[in-house]
A and B are shown apart, each in its own frame.
Chain A
Amino acid sequence: MNKRSKETLFFQILRLGTYVTVSTVVALLAYLVYMGSDMLSFSFVTSFPREGMTAGGIYPTVVGTLYLMALVLLLSLPLGVAAAVYLSEYAGERESSLVRIIRIATANLAGVPSIVYGLLGLGLFVLFLGFGFSLLSASLTLSLLTLPVIITASVEALKTVPHSYREAALALGATKWQTTKRVVFPHALPGILTASIIGLSRAAGETAPIMMTGVAYFLSGLPQSVIDQFMALPFHIFALSTQSPNPDLTRPIQFGAVLVLLLLVLSMNLVAILLRTYYRRRLS
């Protein structure tokens, strides 16, 4: 076989692999949209489950998930961004051993399985600190899980700010914090936002950690405070499809809930991807 046809052959194999992968995504999403679209309606999202969860909507699970996301955002975003600012702006060019350890710890935390965060949440928040099986314990656990994602990506975003910007500000007599706040930070904001959205969407879809820290199978009302238990969309899908007495009966509700979760999570991802592409293009 000559060089040209060999090249063509192997490139076609690579193309095949790629399109198999991509068509898997498309087929998967299309199937889920198709199956869930029958259920999807305003009342499905805004009404309580009825008749032992075999009928009605998914309102409390949606609210629970939104509560979780709000708390996670509140807890992990300021802390994560502050940590990133320190690592990128204050730690200096020559990194001390402390900074090195922080970096390694952060990188490793990103690879810790979510179930391990669940164990930590159970041991630390639920039992040791006595927050009990609650919205508070679950959102603290998910915040810890989200933190490394936000730190890592924010450091990346801060690094893309050209060094000359910092020097220009410093040369005008600005202090380090003024430089960071007024010059570096605004420039890195889109990147940091992207990271936070992705981190948050991941938290919204997590199931195992909240199973161990506060989610409930069924509640007749919404949580009234952070120490109440809550229902959540991803756990609802799991519970209906595996824990309920007759999973086949509630199949349409399950597909409906899957579609709602997907719409929530993927729209966040899509916004993040578009935001990133837009700003990358604007920068280059």
Chain B
Amino acid sequence: MRSPKRLGEKIIERLLLLSALVSILLVALIFLFLFREGLPAFAEIPLLSFLTGETWQPVAEEPKYGILPLLSGTMLVTIGAVGVAVPLGISTALYLSEVAGSREKEILKPFIELLAGVPSVVYGFVALTVLATAVQTLFGNTFRLNALNGSLVLAVMILPTIVSIAEDALSAVPMEYKEAAWALGASRWETLRRVVLPAASSGVFIGVILGIGRAVGETMAVLMATGNSPVVTADFFRSIETMTAAIAIEMGEVVYGSVHYSALFAIGLVLFAITFVINLAADAFVERSVRRFKR
């Protein structure tokens, strides 16, 4: 009964572990290259004027590298998108998990999943050709491509994230809670509002956070929808430019190794930091919601 040396088993386990380590390697590489390529920018641009400068004019005679307009652009479209997508997404999730019959749910859900499969360039194309015209006809705005246009298209894009995560959280609420509420004379609506939604709140919140993360990081759709002029504004009818759009547009024309090139990587670094924090926040909520149902 002496154990043979199972060399093959050991080698396989090592190989598998190695593959799993790729995730860590990848995060490290992202950090490494963003810093490596982005940091030289700060030899030329003081960090403070980079983050708070109100002018982004990297190709002017006297280039200015203030990313505040890009930050504000990203924030504006994200706020707009969240404002539209959260109420719609949560009502859809509530309807699917608590109101719709199982047949109805089975038909409706794939449509929402299909939304997630549409490439962002297609959304961008729709925003550029159709939505922009519709918005202009409706509001008579001067800028055909603007923040509102970007927000609306982003809202549709982040809906599936919000719906599917919120719906999972709502469906995970134990039946016992609902029965307890019904037995006390609560209607299905009261049970939904006072028991199910609070119990699933962290899960619903995770959906919203991850939706925000997607909105912040989205590139092609906002690039094609918003008009891309880097101004600090809170006006949804103005053209704005997001961080992602600036990187995508300008990287094609930049001299590799120049200050402008480094500055674009530095924007990437800021973007990465923001989404990283958003993801960590979501993780923290996952932990919380897991603990919640443990008795």
Contact = CB atoms under 8 A, between A and B. Distances in A.
Interface of A: 3-4, 6-7, 10-11, 13-18, 20-22, 24-26, 28-29, 31-32, 79-80, 82-83, 85-87, 90-91, 99, 101-102, 104-109, 111-120, 122-124, 127-128, 144, 147-148, 151, 175-177, 198, 201-202, 204-208, 211-212, 234-235, 237-238, 241-242, 251, 254, 258, 261-262, 265-266, 268-270, 273, 277
Interface of B: 6, 8-9, 12-13, 15-17, 19-24, 26-27, 29-30, 33-34, 36-37, 87-89, 91-92, 94-96, 99-100, 106, 108, 110-115, 117-122, 124-126, 128-130, 156, 159, 163, 187-190, 193, 210, 213-214, 216-220, 224, 244, 247-248, 251-252, 256, 264-265, 268, 271-272, 275-276, 278-280, 282-283
Contacts of B218: 113
Contact of A124 (B13, B29, B271): B29
A115 B271 contact: yes
Nearest first, the 9 A-B pairs at minimum CB distance are A205-B119, A113-B217, A17-B91, A82-B19, A269-B117, A86-B16, A123-B33, A7-B189, A14-B95
A21 B190 CA distance: 24
B187 A3 contact: yes
B200 to A, nearest CB: 15
A108 B37 contact: no
A95 B117 CA distance: 33
29 contacts: A4-B187, A6-B187, A6-B189, A7-B189, A11-B188, A16-B91, A17-B88, A21-B163, A24-B156, A25-B111, A25-B114, A82-B16, A86-B20, A105-B23, A109-B26, A111-B279, A113-B216, A115-B248, A116-B268, A118-B251, A119-B264, A123-B33, A147-B23, A175-B9, A177-B13, A207-B220, A208-B220, A241-B128, A269-B114
Contacts of B163: 21
B99 A176 contact: no
A25 B112 contact: yes
B33 A119 contact: yes
A149 to B, nearest CB: 12
A281 B62 CA distance: 65
Given A86-B17, A111-B278, 16 more contacts: A14-B95, A18-B91, A21-B88, A108-B280, A111-B276, A111-B279, A113-B217, A119-B247, A147-B26, A177-B8, A177-B9, A208-B244, A212-B251, A234-B121, A235-B121, A258-B125
Contacts, number: 253
| A79, A83, A108, A270: residue with the most chain B Cβ atoms closer than 10 Å | A108
Contacts of B24: 101-102, 105
Contacts of B216: 113
A115 B189 contact: no
Interface of A is mostly: helix
Nearest to A117: B30
A185 to B, nearest CB: 12
